[in-house]
């Protein structure tokens, strides 16, 4: 990757991470003193978990587009993207996701699917709390993953 292309790519990744962190901050604020019967806040948090997953997925798509330039439109592309980002592609790019962030994202992917298709279904506190905990754990791990990834592509140590 040429120097200017690498600079632009890193800038794009950090900009997307900035959006992820804005959503993360909303989750932190809205989860303070959460009560099981506060339906409006439960729905708001569910929406933000959905947004956090989508913003993280966009970060992964940026990486996939830069290196693989082929994101399948199959019905399984969400899980394939996570799997692909967890793998090093020798002589192309290092793995982006650690096992921990991959596991968190797979769980949040399931919640995102539920949220997008749960028309008229109430958000259950226990289900939401489990996914909220995953979401709150994701961002620090994702930041670490991104730092390691950028270090490797900058020094070509993969």
The backbone torsions φ and ψ at residue 38, rounded to the nearest 5 degrees and listed phi first, read -90, 80
Tens-place pLDDT, residues 90-137 = 989 999 999 999 999 999 998 998 887 777 788 889 999 999 999 999
Task: Write out the two tokens for 135.
Answer: 């979401």
Tens-place pLDDT, residues 4-55 = 999 999 999 999 999 999 999 999 999 999 999 999 999 999 999 999 999 9
Matching CATH number, 3-155, of 1.20.120.1200, 1.20.120.330, 1.10.357.10, 1.10.3720.10: 1.20.120.330
Distance CA 134, CA 35 (A): 18
Domain ranges of the chain: 3-155
């Amino acid at each position: 990757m040429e120097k200017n292309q690498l600079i632009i790519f890193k800038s794009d990744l950090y900009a997307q991470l900035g959006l992820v962190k804005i959503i993360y901050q909303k989750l932190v604020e809205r989860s303070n003193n959460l009560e099981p019967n506060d339906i409006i806040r439960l729905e708001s948090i569910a929406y933000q978990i959905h947004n956090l997953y989508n913003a993280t997925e966009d970060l992964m798509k940026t990486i996939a587009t830069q290196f693989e330039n082929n994101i399948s439109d199959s019905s399984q592309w969400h899980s394939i993207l996570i799997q692909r980002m967890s793998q090093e592609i020798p002589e192309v790019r290092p793995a982006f996701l650690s096992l921990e962030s991959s596991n968190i994202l797979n769980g949040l992917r399931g919640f995102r699917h539920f949220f997008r298709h749960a028309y008229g279904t109430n958000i259950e506190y226990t289900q939401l709390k489990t996914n909220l905990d995953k979401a709150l754990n994701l961002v620090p791990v994702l930041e670490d993953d991104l730092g390691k990834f950028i270090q490797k592509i900058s020094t070509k140590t993969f």
